[in-house]
Amino acid sequence: MLSNFRKYDEAIVRDIRYYFCMALARQKKKLFFEHLRFFEDLDYNFLLGFYRRIQKKNSEAEKYFLNALDYDPESQKTRRELVNVLLSQGKYGMAVEWARKNYEKKPLNAFHIQAYFICLLRKSSWSPSEREIIEELLINIQKSHDYKGKEIFQVMKGEYEYYIRGHFEQAVKLLKEAKEKCEFKNYPIKALMEIYKRKGLKDKEKMYSDMINLEEEEISDI
């Protein structure tokens, strides 16, 4: 269809090309750039940021997502992607404001809840109001109807045990159980990797880091 795009409605062709670009980015295909040239402004910067995130070039991805937000400051998907790359770089202070904005717009969106929860948990300390928000997020994830809400809740429970209650062994137990039950295993794997990193357990950290890479490779092949 894209090879004969002049036969079809422009809006339909644009949408198909956009999702095709997303698919090419996930597979890290160079063909991505041949289709990227049809976009500009918001879409161009978002797609290029997405491609760089998949490549794990997070500082570049951050730049393009910020550029995209210049064109549409209210874009929730762009803010969500920006939060992801900021978290990957350990920039929790910067990520928390973007995560908060998304959460306040849609407080029962499981992905917004998860992002805001992670940003707050991984701070070095919390104000009383932030502790209240953390508790609120745990309640709201259970109300969410998003298809991954239950899986995200299982991971959040494990992270809460470690960061809030200081129970390392119980946290690991819950997250390992979540890993066995979850369809998308990167959630508990990333949580375990971060906890082992904070505990200084380098071998365990590397083991789970390798699992993340394998999981992402398998997803990119779909």
What pLDDT digit, counting tens, does each position of 44-66 carry?
999 999 999 999 999 999 999 99
Q: Is residue 172 part of a domain?
A: no
Share of the chain above pLDDT 70, in %: 91
The rounded distance, in Å, linking the Cα atoms of 221 and 50 is: 17
Residue range 5-24: average pLDDT?
A: 80
CATH of the domain at 29: 1.25.40
Q: Is residue 164 part of a domain?
A: no
Q: Is the pLDDT of residue 95 over 90?
A: yes
DSSP-derived letter for residue 91 is -
Residue range 161-165: average pLDDT?
A: 96
Q: Is residue 79 part of a domain?
A: yes
Residue range 34-43: average pLDDT?
A: 94
Q: Is the pLDDT of residue 72 over 90?
A: yes
Residue 11 has φ and ψ, to the nearest 5°, of -65, -40
Length, in residues, of the chain: 222
Residue 124 banded pLDDT, cuts 50, 70, 90 = confident
pLDDT tens for 169-186 read: 999 999 999 999 888 888
Least confident of 31-45, 90-104, 204-218: 204-218
What range does the domain containing 42 cover?
10-89
In the numeric block, the tokens 């422009």 are attached to 10
Burial class (CB in 10 A: 0-12, 13-18, 19+), 216: middle
Residue range 154-163: average pLDDT?
A: 97
Residue 212 banded pLDDT, cuts 50, 70, 90 = confident
> Of 73, 94, 95, 71, which Cα lies nearest the Cα of 83?
95
Q: What is the mean pLDDT of the chain?
A: 90
Q: Is residue 136 part of a domain?
A: no
DSSP-derived letter for residue 4 is G
In order of 64, 76, 83, 198, the CA distances from 15 in angstroms are: 20, 18, 25, 43
Q: Is residue 128 part of a domain?
A: no
Q: Is residue 16 part of a domain?
A: yes
In the numeric block, the tokens 């365990």 are attached to 204
Q: Is 106 helix (H, G, I), strand (E, B) or coil?
A: coil
Helix residue ranges, H only, 144-201: 149-163, 168-181, 186-199
> What pLDDT is stored for residue 183 in this prediction?
86
This prediction's pTM: 0.83
Total count of domains within the chain = 1
> What pLDDT is stored for residue 135 in this prediction?
97
> What pLDDT is stored for residue 217 in this prediction?
41
Which residues have a Cβ under 8 Å from the Cβ of 123 and sit 6 or more positions away?
92, 93, 96, 130
The rounded distance, in Å, linking the Cα atoms of 75 and 102 is: 9
Q: Is residue 55 part of a domain?
A: yes
Q: Is residue 159 part of a domain?
A: no
